[in-house]
Amino acid sequence: LKALADRYTERRKRAISTDQIMCFPGTQTTIFSIFLALTESGDEVLVGDPMYATYEGVIRASGAAVVPVTLRPEHGFRMQASDLALKINNRTKVIFLNSPHNPTGAVLRKDDIAAIGALAKSHDLWIVCDEVYEDMIFDGAEFASPLDDITLADRVIVACSISKSHAAAGFRSGWCVGPHEFTKRLLPVSETMLFGNQPFIADMTALALSAPSAVAADMRERFARRADQLVTRLDGVAGLKVHRPSAGMFALVDVRGTGLSGLHFAGRLLDEALVGVMPGCSFGPVLSGWLRLALSANDADIGRACDRIIAFAEGLSTG
């Protein structure tokens, strides 16, 4: 807990104490527990569409309803306060953010967060933010957290883990940071579910957080380079458009110009060209005409995949 308190005190430029932090087995369990504590049947949670595939389940497990809010390509897929405002009613309880965002790689800016924070204050809403990709931001983008704003301190909870920053997903080490009153009320939920964490994982996490992650630095460089490779090779070719991410380990390709949906393009690409990609509709209807490509494949494999994607897309336009 002290290692985490030190980390957040340094990064957020304000005092964060150990009694504001709770540890869980990974970000997934953390987010599940947060919503179990904050929401119940009849409540609504505003969350961006597209969204990470498990969000709908962890929200609905508490009895709350998921209310999708469109993340628009023209805004770089960053959540806009004006779009949130249209979905708020007397059942709204939480604004759920994910920055850096999976699957789009979008990173919220300070002005985005300020506008969203003002909306949360005016409607007395909680802000929950999944920040698991915080250490995976590419050059040219700057991380901002709702936890930075002291005026939001009584309504912001952030979730994170070492899964991405240290490529240590198998260890299941995550946490949340929020107001002390919240963590005090969350403790009985955690004790009922888990009855404690493994000391060796806590020790390992403290060690991992004691210095900047060399693993994250290496991944940032490799993933940014591969994102640029996709832009160079695919953008503007045979009806394809590439959205370059600002962070993370994925890139999006808009295939609507080919005349196929993302689902049909992905299926045929696998069958006919032996290239596996994720149809965007897996993350919500906003991406029904998109694909998600992994940047974790090596450079040579991404190059070969680009060759096959181009040949397949050009075949569609000539066939």
pLDDT band, very low/low/confident/very high, at 235 (cuts 50, 70, 90): very high
Q: Which pLDDT score is estimated for 275?
A: 98
Same domain? 173 vs 249: no
Distance of alpha carbon 303 from the chain centroid? 26
| Beta pairing, strands 156-161 & 126-130 | parallel
3-state DSSP assignment of residue 261: coil
Q: Which pLDDT score is estimated for 274?
A: 98
- Over 70: is that where the pLDDT of 319 sits? no
Q: Name residue 13's amino acid.
A: K
- Over 70: is that where the pLDDT of 122 sits? yes
Same domain? 246 vs 182: no
> What Å distances lie between residue 308 and 43, 80, 168, 267, 283, CA to CA?
47, 36, 32, 14, 24
Same domain? 175 vs 219: no
3-state DSSP assignment of residue 172: coil
H-type alpha helices, the chain: 2-12, 26-38, 55-60, 81-85, 110-123, 180-193, 199-208, 214-234, 262-273, 299-318
Q: How many CB atoms lie within 10 A of CB 184?
A: 12
Domain endpoint, select from 190, 208, 226: 208
- pLDDT for 20-68, tens place per residue? 999 999 999 999 999 999 999 999 999 999 999 999 999 999 999 999 9
The predicted model scores a pTM of 0.95
Backbone conformation region of residue 276, classed left if phi is above 0, alpha if psi is from -120 to 50, else beta? beta
- Over 90: is that where the pLDDT of 148 sits? yes
Same domain? 33 vs 160: yes
Tokens of 107: 């990173």
Distance of alpha carbon 304 from the chain centroid? 28
Same domain? 189 vs 221: no
Distance in angstroms (rounded) separating the CA atoms of residues 256 and 174: 38
Distance in angstroms (rounded) separating the CA atoms of residues 93 and 72: 23
- 300 phi, psi to nearest 5 deg: -65, -45
Same domain? 110 vs 87: yes
Q: Which residues contact 92 (CB under 8 A, 6 or more apart)?
A: 43, 44, 45, 46, 67, 123, 125
Distance in angstroms (rounded) separating the CA atoms of residues 278 and 301: 16
pLDDT band, very low/low/confident/very high, at 1 (cuts 50, 70, 90): confident
- Over 80: is that where the pLDDT of 263 sits? yes
| CA geometry: angle 165, 171, 174, nearest 5 deg | 60
- Comparing C-alpha atoms, which of 45, 216, 232, 57 is closest to residue 132? 216
Domain endpoint, select from 208, 234, 250: 208
According to DSSP, the residues that pair with 214 across neighbouring strands are: none
- Comparing C-alpha atoms, which of 79, 84, 72, 125 is closest to residue 99? 79
Q: How many residues does the chain have?
A: 319
Domain endpoint, select from 208, 238, 263: 208
Same domain? 171 vs 188: yes
Same domain? 155 vs 235: no
Distance in angstroms (rounded) separating the CA atoms of residues 109 and 128: 16
Q: Tell me what the mean pLDDT of segment 177-204 comes to.
A: 91
- How many independent structural domains does the chain possess? 2
Q: What is the overall mean pLDDT for the chain? A: 96
Same domain? 44 vs 131: yes
Same domain? 72 vs 169: yes
In which domain, by residue range, is 306 found?
214-318
> What Å distances lie between residue 30 and 87, 155, 176, 248, CA to CA?
26, 17, 7, 20
Same domain? 31 vs 84: yes
Same domain? 87 vs 229: no
- 170 phi, psi to nearest 5 deg: -70, -20
- Over 80: is that where the pLDDT of 317 sits? no
For the domain that residue 224 is a member of, what is the CATH number?
3.90.1150.10
For the domain that residue 11 is a member of, what is the CATH number?
3.40.640.10
Distance of alpha carbon 249 from the chain centroid? 11
Q: Which pLDDT score is estimated for 197?
A: 79
